[in-house]
Amino acid sequence: MEPSVLLLSDLVVLPVSAAFSAVPEVADKAAGGKKAIVITQASLLGGKLPLESATLEIVLSVTRTVEFHSNQLLEEIARVLKPGGTLYIQISFDFAGQLEEVRGALERKLLLAGFLEAKVQQMSSLEDAQSFTIRSQKPEWKIGTSFSLRKTPKSFPKVQFDDEFDLIDEDSLLTEEDLKKPQVPIVSDCEVGSTRKACKNCTCGRAEAEEGEQKLGLTTDQLINPQSACGSCGLGDAFRCGSCPYKGLPPFKLGEKISLSGNFLVADI
């Protein structure tokens, strides 16, 4: 039968009955037929315990020195304890007035070693001697344990339609402007290229522009997009200088195509 209770101490001689009586749970386990083993002078083991991992239910450690419970020893105790196992530490020392300091340091060590719920169960003070028993527990879960998280499926509200539910006519959302057909820009039907010329049946106005170029001595760009360095070319002959290329033309707006009447290019008789 594997042992369930370990009595651990750095003392040479350990009164087992006195140690068990201080912790009733340990005494009950031993009296109930649980196998218990005792290790004294544990400080000579170099922080190692000759036991299999996760085999003990309770470990009771008794010492009179603060330095006995090193981080390595506490980690070793956690190794041999089963998940949910309990560790009791009885410590007594002759430094009066340092009880709270020692207890706080030991609780921090237990926390770093992975123990939970470190609580002082018994505390006593006799003249210059201070003593207390602190109880802590190894977590139920194992290091590296993984489990899957349940994800709540997303649900969307269902929309129920009945005969009384009014549907909106899509056509009623359109205005008269939306229903109008878009105006397609007129595409020039003349030759396309760097030297475009009006075709025989020109309908885009290029033939009139070429005729104006010949009779007025202006380029197509000057007729379609007239510009002025002085800003007065579009105001009329009264404001134009003697060398103005637009002299003789009616007033026009700069940047807009010059519109000529049908008989403007006809020679006066």
The verdict on whether residue 241 carries a ligand-binding annotation is yes
Does 149 map to a domain?
Answer: no
The verdict on whether residue 12 carries a ligand-binding annotation is no
Does 69 map to a domain?
Answer: yes
Structural domains counted in the chain: 2
The verdict on whether residue 197 carries a ligand-binding annotation is no
> What single-letter amino acid sits at 202?
C
The verdict on whether residue 204 carries a ligand-binding annotation is yes
Does 221 map to a domain?
Answer: yes
Same domain, 206 and 124: no
pLDDT > 90? residue 268: no
26: CATH: 3.40.50.150
Kindly list the distances between the CA atom of residue 66 and the CA atoms of 71, 94, 113, 124, 162, in Å, as whole numbers in the listed order.
12, 11, 16, 16, 80
Residue 194's pLDDT band (boundaries 50, 70, 90)?
Answer: very low
Does 150 map to a domain?
Answer: no
220-248 mean pLDDT: 79
Same domain, 129 and 51: yes
The verdict on whether residue 267 carries a ligand-binding annotation is no
158 vs 233 pLDDT, higher one: 233
Largest CA distance in the chain: 146
| Domain end position, chosen among 90, 105, 137 | 137
Does 160 map to a domain?
Answer: no
Does 50 map to a domain?
Answer: yes
Average the pLDDT over each of 10-24, 117-131, 234-248 and give the range with the smallest value.
117-131
The verdict on whether residue 105 carries a ligand-binding annotation is no
State pLDDT tens for residues 52-106. 999 999 999 988 887 888 999 999 999 999 999 999 998 877 665 677 888 888 8
Please enumerate in sequence order all residues whose Cβ is within 8 A of that of 117, keeping only pairs 6 or more positions apart, or say none.
135, 136, 137
Does 11 map to a domain?
Answer: yes
The verdict on whether residue 199 carries a ligand-binding annotation is yes
Q: Identify which of 54-63, 164-173, 238-247 has the greatest average pLDDT.
A: 54-63
The verdict on whether residue 179 carries a ligand-binding annotation is no
Q: Which domain holds residue 33?
A: 5-137
Q: Is the pTM of this model over 0.75?
A: no
pLDDT of residue 91: 85
Residue 158's pLDDT band (boundaries 50, 70, 90)?
Answer: confident
